[in-house]
Structure 1
């Protein structure tokens, strides 16, 4: 469910419900005082704060203190997933990270934008899904509505505008599959 207001005029009216704006205001107070300045090893503390605001956080997740989560109630992180410093999780719609997902520093997960063909530049939100064991490398940009397949690797500074297939190494702007990802045994 999206809290965006439909058929409004974003030039003169808010794009989000009053409830959404109030929750984000309260979350930002908690973020600034209790989340952002918490010591790096206190992953469970930050996970608990996110859960307090409706995030679904699995066991042993690592969210670093300089990760910015816009709306925690739209975040799902399954077991052993991590979100590095300077990640922007613009969670206007659901952002779902599967098990053992790594989101590297500076990545931007963007689940909302504006419809540039709309007469009123209407805001829209579409969920992002990142499959189990995927790795989104540093400073990548993931567009609204994208699915990253299980085990996929998105190379540094890639711009992902379309779904990425499972177990592929992909990179570029726009991001494209380069080769199959293979995991070597020890």
Structure 2
């Protein structure tokens, strides 16, 4: 969590947090980012070594950006596509058989612009089971994408979605129920 409440006078995170992220950054560049696409188990192992909770048969692709693996939890048989950004200043929980598509941005951090120090606020994001966050969608801090929801491409999700609903837009709004055949 935030270390300093005045971002004008110092960093928002502790020295230990910043050093651990620096080590993760080196591991990311050397061993994660340029690993062959099919080596999902290898990337899952690297994430686990840095504290992530990764389920079975998870597909995290090599060009996924992960800010702090220790704040990530991904359920069984889920996928996170190339170009997705897991900006995990707070917790990001991705459920079972969920999909995060190319370029999707899950952002857990923001700042309180009403205070002089502009302090960091980190709120968790939850992507529930069977949900799909489509290409280049942006999910705001504190949002839950409900079970079975589909968030359309390039949508901006500022509020929780409804279960088993297709939603899209800026801001994201419900469009239709999602039914499976």
Report the TM-score, using the length of structure 2 for normalisation.
Answer: 0.99
3-state SS, counterpart of residue 65 of structure 1: coil
| 2:74 alignment partner, one of 63, 73, 77 | 77
Distance in 1 separating the partners of 2:143 and 2:114: 20
Unaligned runs of 5+ in 1: none
Query: Which residue of the partner structure matches residue 107 of structure 1?
Result: 104
Moved over 3 A (4+): none
1:40 partnered with 2:46: no
Distance in 1 separating the partners of 2:22 and 2:165: 39
Summarize the alignment of residues 57-136 of structure 1 with structure 2, pairs less than 5 Å apart.
Answer: 57-136=54-133
Distance in 1 separating the partners of 2:15 and 2:119: 18
3-state SS, counterpart of residue 179 of structure 1: strand
3-state SS, counterpart of residue 29 of structure 1: helix
Give the deviation of 1:145 after TM superposition.
0.1
1:91-110 Cα deviation digits (max 9, x unpaired): 00000000000000000000
Query: Which residue of the partner structure matches residue 140 of structure 1?
Result: 137
Query: Which residue of the partner structure matches residue 23 of structure 1?
Result: 20
3-state SS, counterpart of residue 48 of structure 1: helix
| 2:178 alignment partner, one of 146, 164, 181 | 181
Query: Which residue of the partner structure matches residue 166 of structure 2?
Result: 169
Report the TM-score, using the length of structure 1 for normalisation.
Answer: 0.96
3-state SS, counterpart of residue 145 of structure 1: coil
1:61-95 Cα deviation digits (max 9, x unpaired): 00000000000000000100110000010000000
Give the deviation of 1:163 after TM superposition.
0.3
Q: Number of aligned pairs?
A: 181
Give the deviation of 1:29 after TM superposition.
0.3
3-state SS, counterpart of residue 80 of structure 1: coil
Give the deviation of 1:122 after TM superposition.
1.1
The Cα RMSD (Å) is 0.6
| 1:49 alignment partner, one of 46, 50, 75 | 46
Unaligned runs of 5+ in 2: none
3-state SS, counterpart of residue 51 of structure 2: coil
